[in-house]
């Protein structure tokens, strides 16, 4: 009798919990940056489907990552913890993410959620604690990509990666157990280098000329790490591999996965681009400008397919009525340089790669069209979703739920963080960005490069939003610097970054 009572009580509890628990879809792209999203005011292209999420929900204006690089950012999403705590500091060959550690999907599963990760994963270890996964090995491929399924078989699939990731996500949604809430991560490969658009989108931006960022020809005055990096459009971006000049499509190699039709479309398109290159190839300044235009066209055309495919997922949620009780988030693993400082790639604590896009809708719970200005960090993503699922956030997660910010709780807004902490490690491959850590407040950014470069940098973001003027030797900033150094030390302590404390105590 008692057992029956317990059974009925727990059944009722789970039934009630499920009725309240939202479904969660996180669309997690790769290297897709705010400067190219129209919801953030980009004039470079329109992203109507991504913008739908912001229009129906909240657009976050100040979301930062803890370590601007791919695999570490995924580990932060899963754990709500900094790299030095979750164990994954870089993308390097010896990286290891302990799959047995606490992660968001495991916490949600314990409270009735069915969970899935589909698409780019990029952690060395396989997913653990998801009910379903189907992932790209490592970086994956744009054409005829391999997927690793749950039997650990690697299967090559015909098609374009962004379409396939949406196909698989929609299939999973259709076949899921409709009695349970779900948590789905759609891991996009787009817009990762080398940018390979869907052949249908190749000429999408053909007639557009993109304005050069005002600091495109940066000379990196008083910024040693920026001087020593290897991620410029002028030198590092490759004419063949990145910009598809002089490709012999009959050869195997990086373009070898395309079928004959795809190769023909690429060849026809890039042969025309080659003609424009040949005209300017002896003028080094014109070559850099030409590379920038080609970069923009390829990157944005790759994003075009992603935006369209995100539309398919949103349409499915709308047409089935699932949207009503589903949180949808669009975000990326980090930001990216679109020619600012003359760069592509990410890694630096400077704004363009420190920031990541983030928008979130939840009908009836988040007011449509609101903007959130508070500083959110990617360690907050897991705690927030756990909170929305009605589960207590584990104490050892280092982020905080921002549910209260969305509910307009003025108390939470007052107490919300006023500074964020950053720590990047990977060096030297592939882009020679020296390890660094730092603090960003509303107005200032203090960075400590260590290892290969032993330097401090200070920027006043209000007067110098493009971070061109390192004020570290400016006498008028002395007190400001002392105060920021103390705050930085306090944050390193708060987040238990022992290595950083060692570095900071030595200066």
Q: What is the contact surface with ligand SGN in residues (CB under 6 A)?
A: 30-31, 69-70, 91, 122, 192-194, 345, 430-431
DSSP 233-263: TTTTS-TTTTT-TT--TTS-STTTTS-HHHH
Nearer to Ca ion, 30 or 352 (CB): 30
The pair of structure tokens assigned to 193 is: 């280098």
Q: What residues contact 148, with CB distance under 8 A and at least 6 apart?
A: 126, 134, 135, 136, 137, 154, 155
Smallest distance, Å, CB 266 to ligand SGN?
17
Omega before residue 191 within 30° of 0, cis: yes
> 23, 25, 30, 81: which one contacts Ca ion (CB under 5 A)?
30
Strand bridging mode 358-361 / 58-60: antiparallel
Does residue 90 interact with Ca ion by CB under 5 A? Answer: no
Q: Do residues 311 and 8 touch, judged by C-beta distance below 8 A?
A: no
Smallest distance, Å, CB 110 to Ca ion?
30
Give the orientation angle of helix 48-56 with respect to helix 284-319, to 10 degrees. Answer: 50
Smallest distance, Å, CB 139 to ligand SGN?
6
Nearer to ligand SGN, 30 or 56 (CB): 30
Smallest distance, Å, CB 430 to ligand SGN?
5
Smallest distance, Å, CB 477 to ligand SGN?
33
- Measure the CA–CA gap between 442 and 62, rounded to whole angstroms: 10
Give the orientation angle of helix 161-175 with respect to helix 284-319, to 10 degrees. Answer: 20
Smallest distance, Å, CB 349 to ligand SGN?
15
> 70, 104, 196, 420: which one contacts Ca ion (CB under 5 A)?
70
The pair of structure tokens assigned to 74 is: 């995924």
259-298 binders of Ca ion (CB under 5 A): none
- Measure the CA–CA gap between 385 and 392, rounded to whole angstroms: 11
Smallest distance, Å, CB 185 to Ca ion?
15
Nearer to ligand SGN, 76 or 108 (CB): 76
Nearer to ligand SGN, 29 or 103 (CB): 29
- Measure the CA–CA gap between 436 and 474, rounded to whole angstroms: 21
Residue 193 binds which entry of ligand SGN, Ca ion, none, with Cβ cut-offs from 5 to 8 Å by kind?
ligand SGN
**Chain residue whose CB lies nearest Ca ion:** 70
> 188, 204, 333, 467: which one contacts Ca ion (CB under 5 A)?
333
Residue 74 binds which entry of ligand SGN, Ca ion, none, with Cβ cut-offs from 5 to 8 Å by kind?
none
CA 69 from centroid of its chain's CA atoms = 8
Site stretch for Ca ion (CB under 5 A), options 222-230, 275-283, 300-308, 331-339:
331-339
Nearer to ligand SGN, 83 or 384 (CB): 83
- Measure the CA–CA gap between 61 and 40, rounded to whole angstroms: 8
Which residue is associated with the tokens 């990029």? Answer: 122
Residue 194 binds which entry of Ca ion, ligand SGN, none, with Cβ cut-offs from 5 to 8 Å by kind?
ligand SGN
Nearer to ligand SGN, 366 or 433 (CB): 433
Give burial (CB, 10 Å; 0-12/13-18/19+) of 176: middle
Smallest distance, Å, CB 431 to ligand SGN?
6
Half-sphere exposure (CA, 13 Å, Cβ side) for 26?
A: 26
Does residue 198 interact with Ca ion by CB under 5 A? Answer: no
Smallest distance, Å, CB 142 to ligand SGN?
11
Site stretch for Ca ion (CB under 5 A), options 13-21, 22-30, 204-212, 362-370:
22-30
The pair of structure tokens assigned to 312 is: 């398919």
Nearer to Ca ion, 242 or 457 (CB): 242
Site stretch for Ca ion (CB under 5 A), options 30-38, 95-103, 231-239, 470-478:
30-38
Half-sphere exposure (CA, 13 Å, Cβ side) for 293?
A: 17
Contact residues toward Ca ion (CB under 5 A) are: 30-31, 70, 333
């Amino acid at each position: 009798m008692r057992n029956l009572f317990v059974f009925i009580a727990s059944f009722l509890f789970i039934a009630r919990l499920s009725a309240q628990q939202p479904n969660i879809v996180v669309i997690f792209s790769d290297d897709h940056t705010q400067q190219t999203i129209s919801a953030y005011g980009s004039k470079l292209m329109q992203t109507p489907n991504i913008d739908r999420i912001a229009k129906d929900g909240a657009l976050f204006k100040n979301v930062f990552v803890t370590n601007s690089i791919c695999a570490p950012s995924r580990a932060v999403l899963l754990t709500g913890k900094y790299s030095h705590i979750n164990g994954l500091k870089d993308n390097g060959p010896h990286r290891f993410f302990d799959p047995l550690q606490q992660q968001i999907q495991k916490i949600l599963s314990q409270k009735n959620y069915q969970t899935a990760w589909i698409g780019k994963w990029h952690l060395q270890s396989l997913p653990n604690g998801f009910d379903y996964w189907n992932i790209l090995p490592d970086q994956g491929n744009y054409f005829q990509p391999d997927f690793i399924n749950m039997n650990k078989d690697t299967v090559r699939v015909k098609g374009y990666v962004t379409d396939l990731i949406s196909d698989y996500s929609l299939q999973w949604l259709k076949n899921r157990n409709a009695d349970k809430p779900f948590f789905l991560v759609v891991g996009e490969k787009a817009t990762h280098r080398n940018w390979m658009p869907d052949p249908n989108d190749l000429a999408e931006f053909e007639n557009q000329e993109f304005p050069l960022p005002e600091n495109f020809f940066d000379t990196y005055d008083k910024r040693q790490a920026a001087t020593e990096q290897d991620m410029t459009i002028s030198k590092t971006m490759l004419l063949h591999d990145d910009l598809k000049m002089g490709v012999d499509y009959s050869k195997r190699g990086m373009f070898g996965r395309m079928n004959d039709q795809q190769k023909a479309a690429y060849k026809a398109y890039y042969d025309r681009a080659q003609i424009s290159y040949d005209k300017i190839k002896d003028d080094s300044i014109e070559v850099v400008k030409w590379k920038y235009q080609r970069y923009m066209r390829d990157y944005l055309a790759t994003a075009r397919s992603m935006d369209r495919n995100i539309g398919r997922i949103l349409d499915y949620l709308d047409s089935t009525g699932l949207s009503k009780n589903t949180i949808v988030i669009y975000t990326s693993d980090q930001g990216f340089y679109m020619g600012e400082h003359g760069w592509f790639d990410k890694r630096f604590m400077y704004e363009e790669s420190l920031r990541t896009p983030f928008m979130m809708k939840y009908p009836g719970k988040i007011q449509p069209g609101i903007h959130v200005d508070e500083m959110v960090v990617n360690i907050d993503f897991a705690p927030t979703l756990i909170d929305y699922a009605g589960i207590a956030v584990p104490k050892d997660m280092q982020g905080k739920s921002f549910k209260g910010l969305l509910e307009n709780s003025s108390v939470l807004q007052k107490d919300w963080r006023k500074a964020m902490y950053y720590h990047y490690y990977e060096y030297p491959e592939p882009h020679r960005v020296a390890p660094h850590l730092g603090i960003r407040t509303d107005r200032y950014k203090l960075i400590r490069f260590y290892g290969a470069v032993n330097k401090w940098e200070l920027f006043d973001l209000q007067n110098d939003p493009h971070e061109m003027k390192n004020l570290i030797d400016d006498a008028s900033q002395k007190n400001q610097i002392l105060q920021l150094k103390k705050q930085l030390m306090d944050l390193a302590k708060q987040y238990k970054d022992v290595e950083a404390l060692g570095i900071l105590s030595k200066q």
